[in-house]
Amino acid sequence: MKAKDIFIGPLVRRAQEDVVVICLATFNPFNLRFSVKEYGKAKWLGHDDMPVNVAVSPNLFFYFGRVTPKDTKFPTHALLAYSIGELDPANELADYTAFEAIVKEDSLAYGDSPLPTFFLQSPTRKLNVLYGSCRKIHDAKGGKMDALSNGDTLLASTFDNLDKRPAILCLGGDQIYADDVHKAAMSEVLALASAIEVANPEKLPIPVALPGIGGRQDFVTKHAGFTSSESANHLVTFAEYLAMYGLTWNKNNWVSPSSELQHFIGSLDKVRRLLANIPSYMIFDDHDVTDDWNLSLKWQQNVILRKLGKRIVANGLMAFWLCQGYGNDPYLYSDQTAYDIADRIRNRHKNYNFVENVFLRMDNWEFFTPTYPFVYFLDTRTKRGPKDGLGGTDYSAPAYLKSVPSWEVTFKRLQQPLKRQNQNLPLVFVSAAPVFGFTFIEDLQKAVSTVAGPYFLDLESWSANRRHLMLFLQLMGNKNVVLLSGDVHYAFTSTVKFMVFDDKTLRDAIKLMPFGVTLPRTPVGATPTYDALWTAQFIQLTSSALKNFASTAFTQTPAHLTSMEPAMILTEADDREFGKFENNEFTIYESNPFNPDRLIKVKKGKDEVKPARLFRQRINDAFNSRYIGEHNLGVVSFNDKTVTNYFFTSSGKDSERVMS
């Protein structure tokens, strides 16, 4: 095996005490052994001689080594190293010299280590996490630096200092951009896809030729039903999606790098080394498949009912499963299921429609990390519901990011990690889109000034659907919750207080609560008391983008935004009041009939207000980071109840905050 044989990898994926997953994709077939040991020691702690092998084509092979310890468990808080050996014909002895030569040639290790390294967090020590999203090859508006390369800089400086070295990398979506592809990158995509397909190119399900560079906007709009306005070079075939991953993660796959993209290509060696030395966990957002993917149920129907639309979405998911999804947690799939999926990918040309259905119906995308606290990755793309809930009819409106039935599945999956986790630790989610955004705050402030007006505007955010947002907040009970998010192409932090009162809407909602969900306090008696039942605290940390940029029109607006004062109070009648709740009494801000520019404060009792929920968000203040419009990577540490966060930008640490 030589450096030029590697398509992507090596990547450390799921890593825990009883298994370490390592992914490698090559242009030629090899008989491989994946091995793990303690750094600096000779004895191997475990091997995998039978990795899951997915033969995409005669020219591309994916290997997933699932290394298990020979004796008890892999040690925690100890530096571990791994290697990949080529087995002899008898499958007994492995030669690791070729891999070690590749590590040296491509600079895949840190310090003086001859091999890539990683470590497993100890349950009693703090958890250091890198997180980010949205990495578009050709964006330079947010700076020419690829912020993901900052993770490499951080690991290089903390190589053997495990108290400071990040333990995991969480990528929250848009790891590739399938719709918005630069023409220079598309040239490389087509060349690499052709090399992958060899003499068996994918046959489209419609009798129309696939346009070349710059000619696909009308093609995917008309024949696939896509809605992206940046689709001139939209990826279509399975090989094209795979090629994009190859170009995104390995500099060696670029044949004739364009000077226009040097700001991206120049950082790829650092990004590749990072991915080789830290367990990485990933979830999709829309651009991993196409812009606006499943934005509404109407969008979903329009696309999936078209043969080409169905094919492209399935190709995107199939490539995601190989390059991102399976490595998150291979044990979500039995060995036989994994082998069956590998066989279907290998033989996809024989019955492509069947393979499409396999991936479109797959529901094992959610998972949690084997850390303390655990990080639960939400699937907010494939299990959506109508805007107005069960039995809803508004199919063109922004969908629930998660349907009520999908929440039931999520809460069942949450029970296992919740039982093993110290109650002092927060509940941590990765949500591709922010739950609470700048737009939410800005429009609430407008509403305060007029005591009226719209405030849920971001159609790709949770707040586009108020009932969905309130359902999520309510389901969190009285927990301390941390949300890691991306999507919006700028970075910020936000702290939120959410109170639930005993009102009629809560009593009605309890009847529809997902199975297995219990509330901190259940209302008693026959009629609502409007007493405060519980309070949840949220910290939202949004890192976006690793390499993308919000529109100039938007980036000029958030500077004036400050904490939301007063709070928003949703009443039983679904009206909005603005004010404060202190000492079991409300102070409501109302319009002044004699001076419309000023508000008056009116004291009201709970029976007069009839509160249902109270929501207060802090943003852009002493407790939270500033708005960051340049490329950034989030760095967060969890130490018992304390959360420390900063953003790594071209100028170094930015907006470090300690939150509890």
Q: Give the confidence band of 448 by pLDDT, cuts at 50, 70, 90.
A: very low
CA distance readout (Å), 570 to 341, 485, 615:
48, 25, 8
Least confident of 81-95, 126-140, 210-224, 486-500: 486-500
pLDDT bracket for residue 442 (50, 70, 90): very low
Q: Is 66 exposed, middle or buried (0-12, 13-18, 19+ CB in 10 A)?
A: buried
Least reliable range by pLDDT among 138-142, 349-353, 542-546: 138-142
Phi, then psi, of 83 in degrees rounded to 5: -145, 165
Amino acid 557: pLDDT: 46
201 preceded by a cis bond (ω within 30 of 0): no
Q: CB neighbours of 356 closer than 8 A, spacing ≥ 6?
A: 310, 311, 314
Q: What is the pLDDT of residue 268?
A: 98
> Looking at residue 515, what is its pLDDT?
66
Query: Does the structure show a pLDDT above 80 at 604?
Result: yes
What six digits make up the tokens of 339? 């082998």
284 contacts 324 by C-beta, under 8 angstroms: yes
**280 near 367, Cβ under 8 Å?**
no
Q: Across-strand partners of 579?
A: 567, 588
**Cβ proximity of 641 and 480 under 8 Å:** yes
Helices in 257-347 by DSSP H: which ranges?
262-265, 268-276, 297-304, 307-320, 326-328, 335-346
For 165-177, letters b (16+ CB in 10 Å) and e give bbbbbbbbbbbbb
Residue 396 pLDDT class (50, 70, 90 cuts): confident
**What is the C-alpha to C-alpha distance for residues 42 and 37, in angstroms, rounded to an integer?**
7
Q: Is the pLDDT of residue 554 over 60?
A: no
CA dihedral (220, 221, 225, 231) positive or negative: positive
Does residue 322 register a pLDDT over 80?
Answer: yes
pLDDT given for residue 186 in this prediction = 98
> What is the structure's pLDDT at 297?
84
Could you check whether the bond before residue 611 is cis, i.e. omega within 30 degrees of 0?
no
The mean pLDDT of 211-239, rounded to a whole number, is 97
pTM of the complete model: 0.93
- By three-state DSSP, how is residue 459 classified? coil
pLDDT for residue 244 = 99
pLDDT at 461: 57
Of 335-349, 451-465, 536-550, the range with the lowest mean pLDDT is 451-465
**Residue 369 pLDDT greater than 70, yes or no:** yes
Burial class, 85, CB count within 10 angstroms (exposed 0-12 / middle 13-18 / buried 19+)? buried
In this structure, of 71-75, 603-607, 624-628, the range with the lowest mean pLDDT score is 624-628
Q: What is the mean pLDDT of the chain?
A: 90
CA angle 391, 393, 397 (to 5 degrees): 125
- What type of residue sits at position 44? W
Work out the average pLDDT over 392-418: 80
Contact 277, 13 (CB under 8 A): no
Question: pLDDT tens digit string along 139-167?
Answer: 988 888 899 999 999 999 999 999 999 99
In the prediction, which pLDDT does 135 show?
A: 97
pLDDT tens string 82-100: 999 999 999 899 999 999 9
Confidence tier at 391 by pLDDT (50, 70, 90): low
What integer pLDDT is reported at residue 509 of this predicted model?
A: 79
